[in-house]
């Protein structure tokens, strides 16, 4: 995008705010009767055009964000049942088809668990959908790194997912706290680097 277009986008929302403030003040102080009636349609057209232009800019920004959305996630074989549901599979496939990316780390307790038929079915399914996967042996990492979460790669939002030893998922906590999401991203990057499989 050119500098000129960025400049226009940057000015559009403040301009709409100023125009709205002027219209509100004009209404409060009853100055609209001073505008000739033949000019009112043109003023309404300009204001409407500015409003629609602002909505178009917002829509474009939302589309750009979706195209670049990347989710970083941790999981284990104990929670693989979540990935094997048809609705989840369809949602993930649609997300990736529309430009999203997902990186997934699976925690395992042994090489045998990583090679188990159940794990292989889950891994094959997720790879077929387009998810990038790495496996980490959870017995060889510090406890503070074995956390279950999903975080947006640009650190805008994250979900803490409590999982007990039996693989039951508790109530997730959504956060936009920059310190928490940055910590999730740091943990994920560390795990990604030390992945064995």
Q: Where are the domains of the chain?
A: 3-66, 68-194
Each of the 197 residues of the chain gets a pLDDT tens digit; together they read: 567 767 766 776 677 667 767 776 776 777 767 777 666 666 665 666 666 666 666 666 656 655 578 999 998 876 666 666 777 788 888 888 888 899 999 888 888 988 888 888 888 888 999 999 999 998 999 989 988 888 999 888 888 877 766 666 677 788 889 999 999 999 999 999 998 77
User: Would the pTM count as exceeding 0.85?
Assistant: no
Regarding beta strands 149-152 and 132-137, do their DSSP bridges make them parallel or antiparallel, or are they unpaired? unpaired
User: Measured at the alpha carbon of residue 90, what is the angle toward residues 86 and 92, in degrees to the nearest 5?
Assistant: 115
Which of these CATH numbers, 3.30.870.10, 3.20.10.10, 3.40.640.10, 3.40.50.20, describes 68-194?
3.30.870.10
Regarding beta strands 101-108 and 132-137, do their DSSP bridges make them parallel or antiparallel, or are they unpaired? parallel
Which one, of 132, 138, 135, lies nearest residue 119 by Cα?
135
- The pair of structure tokens assigned to 99 is 């430009």
């Amino acid at each position: 995008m050119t500098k000129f277009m960025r400049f226009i986008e940057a000015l559009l929302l403040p301009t709409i705010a100023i125009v709205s403030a002027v219209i509100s003040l004009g209404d409060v102080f009853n100055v609209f009767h001073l505008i000739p009636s033949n000019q009112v349609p043109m003023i309404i057209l300009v204001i409407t055009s500015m409003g629609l232009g602002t909505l178009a800019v917002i829509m474009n920004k939302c589309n750009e964000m979706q195209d670049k959305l990347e989710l970083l996630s941790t999981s284990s074989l104990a929670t693989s049942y979540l990935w094997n549901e048809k609705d989840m599979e369809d949602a993930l496939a649609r997300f990736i088809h529309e430009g999203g990316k997902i990186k997934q780390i699976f925690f395992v307790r042994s090489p045998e668990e990583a090679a188990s038929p159940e794990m292989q079915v889950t891994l094959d399914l997720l790879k077929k959908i387009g998810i990038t996967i790495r496996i980490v042996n959870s017995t060889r990492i510090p406890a503070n790194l074995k956390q279950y979460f999903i975080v947006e790669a640009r650190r805008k939002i994250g979900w803490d997912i409590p999982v007990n030893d039996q693989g039951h998922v508790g109530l997730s906590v959504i956060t936009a706290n920059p310190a928490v999401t940055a910590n999730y991203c740091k943990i994920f990057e560390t795990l990604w680097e030390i992945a064995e499989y």
